[in-house]
A and B are shown apart, each in its own frame.
Chain A
Amino acid sequence: MNGANRVAVAGARRTTELRLDGSGRGGRWKGEVFRALLIFCLVIAFVTLLAVIVQASVRGMPRIDLNLITQMPSTLDRETSGMQSAIFGTIYVMVGLIVTVVPIGVSAAIFLEEFADGTKWWVRFIELNVQNLAAVPSIVFGILGLAFIVRGPLDLGTVAYAGSLTLALLVLPTVILASREAIRAVPTSLRQASLGLGATKWQTIWHHVLPSAVPGIVTGTILALSRAIGETAPLLLVGATVFVTYNPDGFFEGAYTVLPVQIFQWAVRPQEEFRILAAAGIILLLAVLLVMNSIAIWIRNKYTRDA
């Protein structure tokens, strides 16, 4: 993994160097073609995003109203049906996710960066598996959550925190990898200064390494959470699938649903009103996502400038 990454990075750098060398036959011509190809790819990504936003906005606009957030979902009052239970369910799941994944992810990152001896086989094994975990399809985490969290050893039942834990497994690798990057970016000279004064390793991490790494950790965590907030597949398996018309009673009791699942519930119904409602839900979800990502970018830029 690390080795493979390094090879990939080295390969990419070498490619760039060769590219910049420009001595090859027709170097400039090839460069222009390559540039056009890259811009084309960018356009595809951008047009797709724009199409989704425009399509959802046009269809859902009639239902962007207060009812959308103040009313419970209802199959009877099609005109005024809302998604309050899904909004509350999402809030419960996300809060449970944050308090679970941040301490575990950051602690794991601190251990791997500051304490673990990278030459030991078991440390490499853990690092390799953290990266592998990031590539596991989300539905697999759903099955795992059903077997071990909803039923099995933890036996939580289909409650909001079961959803939080399942999503925590899903985004844990992202949080660990982002936190490691942030911790690694803290200059060694800062650690040496602190240790040289007779501070303990823990004091050094707590007073200097973590405060300097917090912006990076927060940015990475928000991006991980914005992936989790849009996840549907794993939550379908751990209880969010039911049509609930009331808010969760708490983290550990009561049925729950979340925004993407509610959108799915509506989108499969034949009546036009529900399809419009689904489009409105998509706008809401996209708005939340864009706000979260903007905050992440804002934090990153703010601290990059200050540093």
Chain B
Amino acid sequence: MTEPSVTHPYTPQQELPDHPVPVMQTRSLNVFYGGFHAVHDVDLAFGHHEITALIGPSGCGKSTVLRCLNRMNDLVPSARVEGEVLYHDQDVYAPSVDPIEVRRHIGMVFQKANPFPKSIYDNVAYGPRVTGMKVDSMDDHVERCLRGAALWDEVKDKLKESGYSLSGGQQQRLCIARAIATEPDVILMDEPCSALDPIATAAIEDLMLQLREQYTIVIVTHNMQQAARVSDRTAFFTARPDETTGNRTGLLVEFDKTSTIFENPSDQRTEDYISGRFG
């Protein structure tokens, strides 16, 4: 095996259990867009206060799986989900569940930083305001969230300025501050660093490791080094072309501790991808 010699530079605060203590789970998750079968039979468990990375080549369905976790796929009119997505043993796709409520508990950070065209303060305060969250002092809450996103020192003197006035990396941290302002349990990150330079990326990665103390994090990334650097567990996806239509259906190949995936994968396809022979 050609080896990219990955070591985990951060030691988790405690020994990683062999199996995750799940906050969220997917069971036989299948996703269709119209007649197109996008994701096939995914079973995953996202451990309490762990960072789980979803990696794999383009079109393998990792972003689709991520977007199922807080029902963002509902926004695609033709999308259909089969199987279960459990959040603390509650199926988020059960008919009685309000997707709005799901998204209040499971926050999301997008690929491209998308602050609102409002002030930095209002960006952070928006979530608590619209969800009717009770906070003693909004000023304190905004400060706490901006500190939580390691942005406070850079913006404390210009809270009234537009979120657009910040740099790309700062905007992404503002989006993280905005996401934690509704006090979610789980934070989903869809390639949060793909548009950032290495320094801004390093800042976000440090932030993720801090956030792990309080949140369960799921991150989709194209960057294998990033997965190796920050995640506790890694799920490797690949795409299988349909023999008749040629449509590529995503499936989960292997899910294990990150160190195992990168150093001793049990599936040949994972090893090929990790060692750069494919994808």
B135 at the A interface (CB under 8 A) = no
With both beta carbons as reference points, the residue of chain B lying nearest to A204 in the complex is identified as B130
A193–B114 touching, CB < 8 Å: yes
By the criterion CB–CB under 8 Å, are A197 and B182 in contact? yes
CB distance from A266 to the nearest CB of B (A): 50
* Chain B neighbourhood of A294, CB < 8 A: none
Q: Does B103 sit at the interface, judged by CB under 8 A?
A: yes
Roughly how many angstroms separate A211 CA and B182 CA in the complex, as a whole number? 23
- B75: interface (CB < 8 Å): yes
Count, chain B residues at interface, CB 8 A: 26
Asked whether, in the complex, the Cβ of A197 is within 8 Å of the Cβ of B127, the reply is yes
A189 with B110: CB separation less than 8 A: yes
Mark contacts of B95-135 with chain A using CB atoms, 8 A cut-off: 1 yes-contact digit, 0 otherwise.
00000110110011010101111000000001100110000
A197 proximity list for chain B (CB < 8 A): 103-104, 107, 126-127, 130-131, 178-179, 181-182
Contact A212/B117 with A189-B112, A198-B104 known, Cβ cut-off 8 Å: yes
A198 and B114 within 8 A (CB): no
- Measured CB to CB, the closest approach of chain B to A305, in angstroms, equals 14
Which residues of chain B come closer than 8 Å to A198, judged between CB atoms? 100-101, 103-104, 127, 130-131, 182
A contact residues, total (Cβ < 8 Å): 21
For residue B179, which residues in chain A have a CB less than 8 angstroms away from its CB?
Answer: 196-197
0/1 string, A175-200, CB within 8 A of B gives 1: 00000000000010111111111111
How many pairs, one residue from A and one from B, have CB atoms within 8 Å of each other in the complex? Answer: 68
Q: Is B72 an interface residue (CB 8 A)?
A: yes
Q: How far is the CB of B177 from chain A (nearest CB, A)?
A: 12
Cα distance, A2 to B104, chains bound together (Å): 37
Task: Report whether B116 and A208 are in contact in the complex, using a CB–CB cutoff of 8 Å.
Answer: yes
Residue in A189, A195, A196, A207 with the greatest tally of chain B CB atoms within 10 Å: A196
Which residues in chain B, 2-58, are within 8 Å of chain A measured between CB atoms?
A: none
Report yes or no: A192 in contact with B182, Cβ–Cβ below 8 A. Answer: no
Q: For residues 40 through 99 of chain B, which have their beta carbon under 8 Å from a beta carbon of chain A? A: 70, 72, 75, 77-78
CA–CA, A195 and B114, complex, Å: 12
A118 to B75, CA, bound (A): 14
Say whether B149 faces chain A, with CB atoms less than 8 Å apart.
Answer: no
Nearest CB to that of A187 among chain B residues?
Answer: B114
Q: Tell me which of A187, A196, A208 contacts B70 (CB under 8 A).
A: A196
A118: nearest chain-B partner, CB-CB: B77
> How far is A207 from B117 in the complex, measured between Cα atoms in Å?
11
A198 to B130, alpha carbons, bound, how many Å?
Answer: 8
A301 within 8 Å of B by Cβ? no
In angstroms, how far is the closest chain A Cβ from the Cβ of B61? Answer: 19
B175 within 8 Å of A (CB atoms)? yes
- Point out the residue from B101, B110, B115 that lies within 8 Å of A196, measured CB to CB: B110
Closest residue of B by beta carbon distance from A197:
B127
Contact A194 B100 (CB under 8 A): no
Residues of B within 8 Å of A132, CB to CB, are: none
Q: Which residue of B lies closest to A119 (CB)?
A: B77
Q: How far is A196 from B184 in the complex, measured between Cα atoms in Å?
A: 11
List, in ascending order, chain B residues with CB within 8 A of A200's CB. Answer: 100, 130
**A203 is an interface residue with CB less than 8 A from chain B:** yes
Distance from A183 Cβ to chain B, minimum over Cβ atoms (Å): 15
Point out the residues of chain B lying under 8 angstroms from A194, CB to CB. Answer: 116, 126, 130
Chain B, residues 125-165, CB within 8 Å of chain A (1/0): the string is 01100110000000000000000000000000000000000
Shortest Cβ distance from A119 into chain B, in angstroms? 7
Interface contact A189-B114, CB-CB below 8 Å:
yes
Residues from 187 to 240 in A contacting B, C-beta threshold 8 Å: 187, 189-200, 203, 207-208, 211-212
8 closest A-B pairs (Cβ-Cβ)? A198-B104, A189-B114, A197-B127, A196-B108, A199-B130, A198-B103, A193-B114, A198-B131
**What are 24 inter-chain pairs, A to B, with CB distance below 8 A?**
A118-B77, A187-B114, A189-B112, A190-B116, A190-B117, A191-B75, A192-B110, A193-B115, A194-B130, A195-B72, A196-B107, A196-B108, A197-B126, A197-B131, A197-B179, A197-B182, A198-B100, A198-B101, A198-B131, A199-B126, A199-B127, A199-B131, A207-B126, A207-B130
Q: Which residues of A contact B (CB under 8 A)?
A: 117-119, 187, 189-200, 203, 207-208, 211-212
Q: A118-B77, A196-B110, A198-B130 are in contact. List 4 more A-B contacts (CB 8 A).
A: A187-B114, A189-B114, A195-B75, A199-B127
